[in-house]
Amino acid sequence: MMRRYERGAIAACMAMLAPLAMGAGAPDTAGASASASGEQVYVARLMPLNSKVSGAEASGEARFQVANGKLTIRIEMQGVPPDIEHWQHFHGFKNDKAATCATDSADVNHDGIVDLIETGPASGTTMVPFNADPVAMDIPSDTYPKAAADGSYRYEKTVSLAAMRKAFGKAFGKPKLDLDRRVVYIHGVPSGTKLPASVASLGPIPAQVTLPIACGKIERVTR
């Protein structure tokens, strides 16, 4: 008697909940490609830019792993100007526009160099720094990685995803990082590098520091 009553009640409940469950199913489906742990991986393959100026064919990979409430950023570069610090960030747009890497055609003043400002139309603005403390969102800092004498470096940092989203939201109006709409830029040629006066930079920062030397579009990797 009791058992039958319970079964009936459960069936009625399920019938009532069915439309709700279907409605709630949509976001679940969208996240279905993530693995059981909820891990998401994004990769950007970095290709050289301005190699005529840098004298280096900078290339490498940036990898972003989202898992267990953390974001781990790993960047490995080769062929970059050695023994100097290299600014590195993801760049993007505040709206939903997807950023792409600037190409030679972005050199609108035809000085033979695609400077940071000229990357803007394709790549948007400088967003998150990959330095000692990405969450602090301090773009001008001296805590970016320094390349070894062989022109390589490796960077790895794990941050709280919640803290990163909060800082990002404060700076750009919404907390979603939207990694697959961003590009990664590596910057920097030696301070003594002669550049035309037409090469623009970020405020008072020397153009040698912000000169883009590699770029890669971040893409979601299906696992």
| Interaction site with Cu ion (CB under 5 A) | 89, 126, 185
Closer Cβ to Cu ion, 32 or 64, answer by number: 64
CB of 33 vs Cu ion, minimal distance in Å: 29
* Separation CA 91–CA 184 (nearest Å): 6
Residue with the shortest CB distance to Cu ion? 89
Q: Under a CB-based contact definition with an 8 Å cutoff, are residues 182 and 91 in contact?
A: yes
Q: Under a CB-based contact definition with an 8 Å cutoff, are residues 79 and 53 in contact?
A: no
Closer Cβ to Cu ion, 67 or 159, answer by number: 159
Closer Cβ to Cu ion, 126 or 131, answer by number: 126
CB of 137 vs Cu ion, minimal distance in Å: 13
* Separation CA 187–CA 200 (nearest Å): 13
Closer Cβ to Cu ion, 67 or 132, answer by number: 132
CB of 10 vs Cu ion, minimal distance in Å: 56
Closer Cβ to Cu ion, 155 or 185, answer by number: 185
Q: Under a CB-based contact definition with an 8 Å cutoff, are residues 133 and 143 in contact?
A: yes
Q: Under a CB-based contact definition with an 8 Å cutoff, are residues 151 and 78 in contact?
A: yes
CB of 89 vs Cu ion, minimal distance in Å: 4
Q: Under a CB-based contact definition with an 8 Å cutoff, are residues 135 and 127 in contact?
A: no
Pairing of strands 88-92, 212-221: unpaired
CB of 129 vs Cu ion, minimal distance in Å: 8
Q: Report the candidate in 46, 44, 126 with the shortest Cα–Cα distance to residue 92.
A: 126
